[in-house]
A and B are shown apart, each in its own frame.
Chain A
């Protein structure tokens, strides 16, 4: 039974998802009840995950620890927020299909499997499960050219990433003779040959695609813009967390002894992501594209923690990703609330004069923008502070300085959004904000503001999770 317990959340999601699929088929207008059931399932799974003990399952295919529980919880949070946002949005957009929440459930299942993976095979299975579910989500608005284009683009580039990952795994297997993480760690203790390093690089590129780190970020702006906003809200939170957690667990797990080989690559990814995130977003006039580039930048900061390869570094990355998920979910709740005459609007200039008409909405978006820019006393500042501190402490002076400079540059475009909302004259005349979007906005803004007063718990948990990962 004790071995069985850590598996329960996954089983719950799998069986629950299939059950809901059947229920949805038998009933017309099933979207709302199915979505609510999916949210309930996710909450139940979160509860099960949090109470589950550490375990090694299926002869070492899956491994749960505090680290996986930490990442799983963030994924549940992101998915729940995205589902809440989809409730009203999908209905208004006429894409309220009951399959959507079920696809989200399967994607989440894939994510928790790939995070718990202790073997390259289980990693790949989880990876593909979540990817396939998400490709369909991107094309959810199947009558819209933009959405189908986004779905196709995501599928083609995602398939390429999966291919690279699989190729890398096969190379690693070929040279090391095993796919098990612990065994790989043992093999690489003696160093690695060129072939293995090539394999590691391929794995790394495959993962970098998924977190949209530059230079593998090209799909992100188009997919973010093209996919329905409720789906984009999901993309920006749960899969990002999952992919980053996987990144951490692979790099600090089987490849931990090859730090010398991959450290430089991660540095390059981090620097490029920060720079592209800062520069490319300046010219954007579509808020979803702006957030896409901003998320590229955020991935750069999150990777800075990994560069150090220490427990403190992993802790910093974990703190960063947690705060990022909250900010992102909140910011997309604001994007989803941007509707005029029943139509979604996405241009930044559409926000002009918002502060006069909807002060609460404008304030929440301002909080998220400031937080993403890293202005104290908001949560995003502490995320950046911890990352900069650990990187600087570990002797990565240049990296830290680049990080600081790019965050000044990026402050410019976040500030522009606030400027448009507060200073520019205009009448946005947005439709009434749905209860779900208002809820996500309020909770997110509250969390981002209050973090300064109670930073302790998150930092402590992230620290313990990082220790659990590094052993």
Chain B
């Protein structure tokens, strides 16, 4: 058992499942049971959030390996164990999930039809996502990775917008097709390395020829999930059609699963192939940053514009990961957290307008800063963070990625940095169209400012944005050890001679 004496990770993972079961078996229909279901879901998500914060306080940032490890026999016949653990990389992604789920549940106020199923699906989604970040066993990881699809498919398809069926099916088919390639990789690893323990396979010596194929398999699986250009086409549909809470979870948490997969598997396991495909990944990242920023600029719908900006930011994360420098990877990881919080804030702002009966078409909005000043301030803050203004969380991640890229390739750094400028363009267009200009329609003057519930959603996010921006080291100090070890192992694997020299020098 781990240092705490109780399986805290499993507890965090499966408590929402208990909640989901409770919500699903709740009797009754209509408004009252919907309200009850929402409360139960909120309580459960807050309890696990508290457990998550407790986990953070107990976490030792000096250790590079997995902590709070849990091992149990599972598929005993074929030598697969149930393994959970966290390190500095997964800790904050788990915390991000735990923090955003209650906010997403708060944002589900508008869900009226079959509300019980909705909240059960949200809690199920939390279980699967946390489980995926906490799994340290490849098969277990795969199970959670795929299982995320089930609740998300229903959330988009049942409670989504007009084209929800198309979006849900596209989302499911894209991700399923991608992840089945990963299944092949799992089976390959299993056969050739004899184990699927992630701590072991991360340092396995895989022949370079096989690495190429494995990398392509991972690219298919994680590239779709992370919406790497050109595998991103499912994303605008899914983000656009999903209900607001679903979009929050998709954009803030689920898109991180892909980047996390690259960081956890592709980079440590396949050093040669990662180095070989580095130029390709840079190109994909840069194209995402520049091309998708232009696409975002061309959008006429607020939700879709934010969705495309999300793809552009994923490009920055991909560039950071494949610099193989401590700065670049830390920047990418930091950007994942920052982007998760910021994008959630932006989509909630969109949700605020939808809740007031407004469509999110930019042409129909405008002038909202006059009668919704607090809303305007919140939207402004998240937009500024989204474009990477110093002092907000977005800045730290982007600057680290650019510094990391600069160490490797000047042009990548320049072009990636250009994305920040383009980010400013579409962000300002968005803000101007929504908050300033003239009222597009007279009924916009009657809109009320934020309600208490909306404060409860936006305030924690705003605080987090500032916290990450002003005092980043309270987060980055946990990254340092695992990422330094990762980069060192990567360099050593590529240059055996330097590794020997380093050992002898010591």
Chain A residues with CB under 8 Å of chain B are: 315, 355-356, 359, 370, 375-377, 381-382, 385-386, 388-389, 392-393, 400-401, 404-405, 407-408, 411-412, 415, 418-419, 422-424, 452, 455-456, 459-460, 462-463
Nearest A residue to B165 via CB reads A423
A405 to B153 CA separation, bound complex (whole angstroms): 21
Whether the pair B76, A460 counts as a contact (CB closer than 8 A) is: yes
Q: Can you pick out 7 interface pairs between chain A and chain B where the beta carbons lie within 8 Å of each other?
A: A355-B158, A375-B146, A376-B142, A381-B146, A382-B75, A388-B187, A419-B168
Q: Which of B163-219 contact A (CB under 8 A)?
A: 164-165, 168-169, 172-173, 176-177, 180, 183-184, 187-188, 190-191
Known: A376-B146, A382-B75, A460-B76. A408 touches B187 (CB 8 A): no
A388 to B149 CA separation, bound complex (whole angstroms): 21
Number of A-B contacts (CB under 8 A): 87
Task: Name the distance in Å between B143's Cβ and chain A's nearest Cβ.
Answer: 4
Q: Give the residue of B78, B150, B164 whose beta carbon is less than 8 angstroms from that of A375.
A: B150
Q: Give the residue of B74, B150, B168 whose beta carbon is less than 8 angstroms from that of A455.
A: B74
A412 to B177 CA separation, bound complex (whole angstroms): 10
Known: A422-B158, A423-B158, A460-B76. A452 touches B143 (CB 8 A): yes
Shortest Cβ-Cβ A-B pairs, 8 listed: A459-B77, A376-B143, A423-B157, A376-B146, A423-B165, A392-B187, A377-B147, A377-B143
Which residues of chain B come closer than 8 Å to A389, judged between CB atoms?
78, 187, 190-191
A424 to B158 CA separation, bound complex (whole angstroms): 9
Nearest B residue to A457 via CB reads B76
Whether the pair B114, A355 counts as a contact (CB closer than 8 A) is: yes
Whether the pair B180, A408 counts as a contact (CB closer than 8 A) is: yes
Which residues of chain B come closer than 8 Å to A370, judged between CB atoms?
150
A377 to B150 CA separation, bound complex (whole angstroms): 10
Whether the pair A400, B114 counts as a contact (CB closer than 8 A) is: no
A463 to B187 CA separation, bound complex (whole angstroms): 20
Task: Name the distance in Å between A4's Cβ and chain B's nearest Cβ.
Answer: 34
Whether the pair A359, B114 counts as a contact (CB closer than 8 A) is: yes
Which residues of chain B come closer than 8 Å to A459, judged between CB atoms?
75-78
Known: A359-B117, A381-B143. A422 touches B154 (CB 8 A): yes
A393 to B78 CA separation, bound complex (whole angstroms): 11
A423 to B147 CA separation, bound complex (whole angstroms): 19
Which residues of chain A come closer than 8 Å to B147, judged between CB atoms?
375-377
Known: A359-B114, A415-B169, A422-B157. A404 touches B143 (CB 8 A): no
A213 to B375 CA separation, bound complex (whole angstroms): 63
Which residues of chain A come closer than 8 Å to B190, judged between CB atoms?
389, 393
Query: B73 in the interface, Cβ–Cβ < 8 Å?
Result: yes
Which residues of chain B come closer than 8 Å to A412, judged between CB atoms?
173
Whether the pair B176, A408 counts as a contact (CB closer than 8 A) is: yes
A392 to B117 CA separation, bound complex (whole angstroms): 39
Which residues of chain A come closer than 8 Å to B191, judged between CB atoms?
389, 392-393
Which residues of chain B come closer than 8 Å to A356, judged between CB atoms?
113-114
Query: B287 in the interface, Cβ–Cβ < 8 Å?
Result: no
Q: Give the residue of A375, A404, A422 whose beta carbon is less than 8 angstroms from that of B184.
A: A404
Nearest A residue to B128 via CB reads A377
Whether the pair B169, A455 counts as a contact (CB closer than 8 A) is: no
A239 to B163 CA separation, bound complex (whole angstroms): 44
Q: Which of B61-83 contact A (CB under 8 A)?
A: 73-78
Known: A315-B77, A408-B176, A412-B173. A419 touches B142 (CB 8 A): no
Whether the pair A456, B76 counts as a contact (CB closer than 8 A) is: yes
Task: Name the distance in Å between B213's Cβ and chain A's nearest Cβ.
Answer: 11
Nearest B residue to A456 via CB reads B76
Which residues of chain B come closer than 8 Å to A359, judged between CB atoms?
114, 117
Name, among A377, A381, A400, A419, the residue most crowded by chain B CB atoms within 10 Å (CB to CB).
A377
Which residues of chain B come closer than 8 Å to A386, judged between CB atoms?
77-78
Which residues of chain B come closer than 8 Å to A315, judged between CB atoms?
77
Task: Name the distance in Å between A459's Cβ and chain B's nearest Cβ.
Answer: 4
Name, among A355, A405, A408, A412, the residue most crowded by chain B CB atoms within 10 Å (CB to CB).
A408
A456 to B114 CA separation, bound complex (whole angstroms): 36
With A400-B184, A419-B157 known, 17 other A-B pairs at CB within 8 A are: A359-B117, A385-B139, A385-B183, A388-B187, A408-B176, A415-B169, A415-B173, A418-B153, A419-B169, A423-B157, A423-B164, A455-B74, A455-B75, A456-B75, A459-B77, A460-B76, A463-B77
Whether the pair A404, B76 counts as a contact (CB closer than 8 A) is: no
Whether the pair B143, A456 counts as a contact (CB closer than 8 A) is: no
A455 to B157 CA separation, bound complex (whole angstroms): 31
